[in-house]
């Protein structure tokens, strides 16, 4: 190889290296700018995409994108794609998942004050529930999520509440009064308060996993269960239980939570965007829930289910001992504050 050729090759190599370095530098600046300007948070829940909870979260994701100009984004994983409700909650506590939705009934295992939602007839009606959640008590309950029962950080920060309706009885035979519950085997969640409500009416509370309930109803393991109308419809339990009694014995909302580890990494501006979007999504989700609940009741009636309104005062009186039993200590003060809201 001649000297001129060698110099040419060396020069060419130097040029390639220099160009590569320049492109790498430009690329790193663009990536760095993009990383600083855009943050992606993963959100997971266990419900289908048609559910009002999913639609509420999608609304929140859209609003976060709008408020931040694309600098904060949410990626949503429905249908237990990242695990069931308990698994998603544990991931959120660990900080490997940013946001999830969980029932206030489940949260009571971590923050005992949330057991207040399991108490029978604590809320006079739906409007009373949302006046409570939209006021000082609701704000304090969201803040209280940060501290677990052991007084240590729970790993969770509350964002907002979502509607999950009220729980009512559905059975194979009509229930008109609390006396009709006597002697019946009623499926409940594995929650002592829920079981005590059934026992107070003379029934046999029977905790069964949700996925096993349809077969249990078919085989007569239980005579009925209790839940909201959309759940009765989508589970197809109405194929076995043709009587739905709107006694509204408990109102258990859902709560949207973010990992405290993730929350603390957000700037104050990002936190404001997320808070605002979450609050707006709560209002949006509640409207969707009301529509879906009415649709579910209509479809249940069309499927031959006898939907009945009853004198809820009779059921309230029958379950009063349960309310009194658990209204002790810090929970008693909270119960008194809730009942005082008009």
| Domain assignment of residue 83, given as a range | 38-108+153-163+253-293
Q: Which two tokens stand for residue 318?
A: 């029958």
Question: Are 227 and 184 members of one domain?
Answer: yes
Taking 50 as the threshold, does the pLDDT of residue 10 lie above it? Answer: no
261 with 271, same domain? yes
Higher-pLDDT residue of 20 and 325 is 325
In a domain, 229, yes or no: yes
Q: Domain check: are 287 and 311 in the same one?
A: no
The answer to whether residues 67 and 209 belong to one domain is no
Single out the residue of 51, 20, 120, 121 nearest to residue 289, CA to CA. Answer: 51
Q: Are 93 and 310 in contact (CB under 8 A)?
A: no
Q: Distance (Å, rounded) from C-alpha 185 to C-alpha 187?
A: 7
144 domain-assigned: no
pLDDT digits (tens, 9 = 90+) for 60-107: 999 999 999 999 999 999 998 999 888 999 999 999 999 999 999 888
At residue 37, the pLDDT reads: 62
Q: Which pLDDT value is given to residue 255?
A: 97
300 and 175 in a common domain: yes
What is the distance between the alpha carbons of residues 24 and 41, in angstroms, rounded to a whole number? 27
Same domain as 264, residue 237? no
The answer to the question of residue 50 being in a domain is yes
CATH number of the domain enclosing 181? 3.40.190.170
59 pLDDT band, cuts 50/70/90, is very high
Residue 16 has pLDDT above 70, yes or no: no
pTM over 0.85: no
- Summarize the confidence of residues 139-154 as an average pLDDT: 94
Q: Is 175 in the same domain as 201?
A: yes
Output phi, psi for 80, to 5 deg. 60, 25
Please tell me the distance from the alpha carbon of residue 267 to that of residue 43, in angstroms, as a whole number: 19
Which region among 39-43, 135-139, 205-209, 243-247 has the lowest average model confidence (pLDDT)?
A: 205-209
Give residue for tokens 């909201």. 228
State the chain's mean pLDDT as an integer. 89
The CA angle 319-321-326, to the nearest 5 degrees, is 105
Q: What is the pLDDT of residue 85?
A: 86
Tens-digit pLDDT profile for residues 262-314: 999 999 999 999 999 999 999 999 999 999 999 999 999 999 999 999 999 99
- What pLDDT, on a 0 to 100 scale, did the predictor assign at position 71? 97
Backbone dihedral angles phi then psi of residue 254, each to the nearest 5 degrees: -95, 160
Predicted pLDDT of residue 18: 39
Q: How many structural domains are present in the chain?
A: 2
d(CA 148, CA 151): 5
Do 175 and 318 lie in a common domain?
Answer: yes
């Amino acid at each position: 190889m001649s000297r001129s050729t060698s110099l040419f090759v060396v020069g060419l190599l130097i040029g390639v290296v220099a160009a590569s370095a320049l492109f790498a530098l430009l690329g790193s600046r663009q990536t760095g700018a993009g990383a600083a300007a855009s943050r992606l948070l993963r959100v997971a829940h266990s419900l289908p995409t048609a559910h009002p909870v999913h639609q509420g979260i999608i609304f929140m994701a859209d609003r976060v994108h709008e408020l931040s100009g694309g600098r904060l984004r949410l990626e949503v994983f429905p249908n237990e794609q990242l695990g069931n409700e308990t698994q998603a909650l544990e991931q959120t506590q660990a900080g490997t998942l940013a946001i999830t939705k969980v029932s206030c009934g489940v949260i009571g295992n971590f923050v005992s004050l949330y057991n207040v939602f399991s108490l029978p007839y604590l809320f006079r009606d739906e409007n009373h529930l949302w006046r409570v959640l939209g006021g000082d008590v609701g704000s304090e309950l969201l803040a209280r999520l940060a501290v677990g029962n052991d007084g240590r950080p729970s790993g969770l920060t509350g964002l907002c509440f979502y509607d999950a309706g009220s729980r009512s009885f559905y059975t194979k035979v009509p229930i008109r009064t609390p006396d009709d519950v006597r002697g019946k085997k009623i499926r409940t969640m594995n929650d002592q308060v829920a079981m005590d409500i059934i026992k107070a009416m003379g029934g046999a509370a029977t905790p069964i996993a949700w996925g096993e309930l349809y077969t249990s109803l078919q085989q007569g393991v239980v005579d009925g269960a209790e839940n909201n109308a959309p759940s009765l419809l989508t589970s197809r339990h109405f194929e076995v239980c043709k009587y739905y009694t709107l006694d509204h014995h408990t109102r258990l909302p859902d709560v949207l939570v973010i990992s405290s580890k993730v929350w603390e990494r957000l700037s104050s501006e990002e936190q404001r965007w997320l808070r605002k979007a979450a609050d707006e999504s709560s209002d949006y989700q509640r409207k969707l829930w009301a529509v879906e609940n009415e649709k579910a009741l209509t479809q249940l009636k069309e499927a031959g289910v006898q939907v009945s309104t009853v004198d809820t005062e009779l059921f309230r009186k029958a379950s009063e001992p349960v309310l009194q039993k658990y209204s002790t200590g810090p929970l008693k003060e909270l119960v008194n504050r809730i009942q005082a809201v008009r």
